[in-house]
Amino acid sequence: MSFLEFTVPPFPVFIAAGEGTFKKGETHVRRVFPVFDLLYVKKGVLYITEDENAFSVEAGEYILLSPGLEHYGTKGSEETTSYSWLHFEGTAYEVTETTGNNWAELRRKKGSFEEPARYRLSLPQKGKVRRPQFMAGQFSVLTDDSAENSDLPLRKQILFEELLLHLQKEAFQIPSAKERVAWEAARYLQEHYQEKTTIKALSSALHYNQDYVTRCMQQVLGVTPGQYTNKVRMTEAKRLLSATNDKMGAIADAIGMEDPTYFSKLFKQIEGITPLEYRKFVSRKTD
């Protein structure tokens, strides 16, 4: 995989953004552009060639085209293809085949009281967007020209920089502090679901404040520690219901729940049917 690598600061500068559509059979124009062109496909497949390298960019993917290189549609669209585009101007860049995989490796030069630190901004030439809702939100503002007499044009540069940093983070799967805490908590709960886990025990094991752990899990995974534990327990319960003839009390005990009645109630609340109904349903499918 090729990466376009910039030294920041200064960051590349946002120029303009918009939306486009290729109808069935239409192709991208042939041209040499003086600025960077980021194309994010929302629907369909974009067939494009840059410097004799052909790419198929599917929905949820983007491609970053470099200035001074000819690009053109490789062939006509096989279906209606909609995309967002973004033009920006950048300082000197280089094309590399490898890059760092954590924030520490992305620092080029340590800063001082008189000079800023220098970092590598490294973006795959073609990448998959893992959070399309984030891209949709950024582009909705970057393409908004209804408030040109406000501070929006200045804020677009900030949103653009956030977009680039997000793409780098997704490409190298560099977790944020909240993501690390949420995943550590999830891993702990997966390993200790058979025990009587408490938020106090969880926060003590991770060495983080109880409220902070809960907030991290809610923001990253959308659930509290208790809700996550219950999901893990119900997943294991379904496995036991389908693979064994154990009674409800034995299954409840195996997943760390002392009360079989509460287990059955919780199972129905989460899965929509009782444990016995689930067992009958699974047995019918395997007959």
Q: Rounded to the nearest 5°, which phi and psi values hold at 37?
A: -130, 110
Q: Rounded to the nearest 5°, which phi and psi values hold at 270?
A: -85, -40
Strands 13-22 and 45-50: unpaired
Closest CA to 76 of 45, 100, 42, 32: 45
Class of domain 178-286: mainly alpha
**Contact between residue 71 and residue 33 where contact means Cβ atoms under 8 Å apart:** yes
**pLDDT score of 141:** 92
Residue 151 one-letter amino acid? D
Q: Domain locations in the chain?
A: 3-172, 178-286
The owner of tokens 């699974």 is 282
- Residues of the chain short of pLDDT 50, as ranges, are none
CA pair distance 275, 5, nearest whole angstrom? 54
Distances (CA, A) of 227 to 110, 211, 212, 285: 43, 15, 16, 29
**pLDDT score of 276:** 93
**What tokens does 258 get?**
């002392």
How many residues in the chain? 287
Strand ranges in 33-76 using DSSP code E only, listed in sequence order: 36-43, 45-50, 53-58, 61-65, 70-73
CA pair distance 223, 208, nearest whole angstrom? 17
**pLDDT score of 174:** 65
**Contact between residue 3 and residue 95 where contact means Cβ atoms under 8 Å apart:** yes
Looking at residue 18, what DSSP letter applies?
A: E
Q: What is the CATH number of domain 3-172?
A: 2.60.120.280
**What tokens does 126 get?**
């073609």
Please, what is the end-to-end C-alpha distance for the chain in angstroms? 47
**Contact between residue 157 and residue 90 where contact means Cβ atoms under 8 Å apart:** no
Q: Is residue 70 classed as helix, strand or coil in its secondary structure?
A: strand
**pLDDT score of 282:** 81
**pLDDT score of 112:** 87
pTM comes to: 0.62
